[in-house]
Amino acid sequence: MDLSETTAILADLKAQLNRREAALFSPLAARSEQCLRRVPEEKVRSGYRQSFSLDADRIMHSSAYTRYIDKTQVFYLIRNDHITHRVLHVQLVSKIARTIGRFLRLNEDLIEAIALGHDIGHTPFGHDGERHLSRLCAGAGIGHFLHNVQSIQFLDRVERKGRGWNLSLQTLDGILCHDGEIHNQVLLPQRDKTFTDLDAEIARKQRDPDQALMPMTLEGCVVRMADTVAYIGRDLEDAIRLNVIRRSDIPKAVTEVLGNTNGTIVYSLVTDIIRQSHDQPHIAMSDRVSQALKQLKTFNLERIYLNPTIKPHADAIQTLFDLLFDTYLEDLRRGNQRSRIFSGFLSDMSDTYVSNHQPAEIVRDFIAGMTDRYFLLQCPADLRPEIVDV
């Protein structure tokens, strides 16, 4: 069989898959043939894979995805093989979201792409690192730092030496709008967005981090809810394992509705979301489950995320963020080629990337992309906080 025959067979198989989507998917689902990209691609480049599946592949093969493996979820500077890291959280979001999407007859490829990429812009040391970097970015005049915006930055403008992956609008929009910390009982897609809309939303979000965004697809709405489902019970289990809280501390009003283990919480939430969203133009939870989840979020915030006992080195981490940001900014201004920002980041970056980014933006991209371990290795040894075995 020659190349032309193979190409024809694969093209026919792809067409069959597209027809299967039309037959099986909900009328409200995103179809692979509806994919929009900034730069239209020749068929030879996209090959026989469907468009959103191609997005998922590109994200998984990105350098930024590789660095998920050593990025903090909640607990940092702790050596414990059973504590959740960012890479596991992302995989859990993908699995939970695809389960919901399958029962709602949505596009699982698009769901997977959004889920795999949604946290790719996270800094080292989780949300604490995000706050530190946001303060530094705002002070440098480049707007607030938000990990969802940075995810777009990495995938669209930093990866592949500054050329980006040319991901679909639907995937990038879902990543930008995932906002898992915001509590919504109902998510109604804001359809018919364009790349112009995406860029405008990014700019508004950088000016005002509280700017509310809504995904353009039901698939994006599913990932946004699945993000919460994936972390809320898992964070409880990690906190119990580390003796930060006891299982009996979880409010009774929560356990009576959702259960008191990660498994029962995930099952309760997923089941309710499917029931409330089936054949609906939105993704939703029931009043009872939504209120219980809201109470659980408040409990986690007060007893885990804001608990000073889990962050004994918070001041030291802030000092190190300040030190690295100022050091790299000065290295760029002086053209210090011996600096790690040149050898570890800019050495193979395209001229287009360099010319289109201010020095502070380059520093932001470099630091945001670091793993926890790499970040600490860039700091003076005498200033590094100790990693504790628990």
pLDDT tens-digit readout, 193-238: 999 999 999 999 999 999 999 999 999 999 999 999 999 999 999 9
User: What average pLDDT does range 264-284 have in this prediction?
Assistant: 98
pLDDT at 174: 98
DSSP string, 159-204: TTTTT----BHHHHHHHHT--TTS--SEE----S--HHHHHHHHHH
160 CB-contact burial (10 Å; exposed 0-12 / middle 13-18 / buried 19+): middle
pLDDT at 4: 73
pLDDT, tens digit, for every residue of 44-64?
A: 455 788 999 999 999 999 999
CA angle 157, 163, 166 (to 5 degrees): 80
Tokens 């790690």 found at: 340
CATH C-level class of 52-390: mainly alpha
Q: Domain boundaries in the chain?
A: 52-390
Q: What is the pTM of this model?
A: 0.95
pLDDT at 181: 73
User: What average pLDDT does range 142-162 have in this prediction?
Assistant: 96
275 residue type, one letter: R
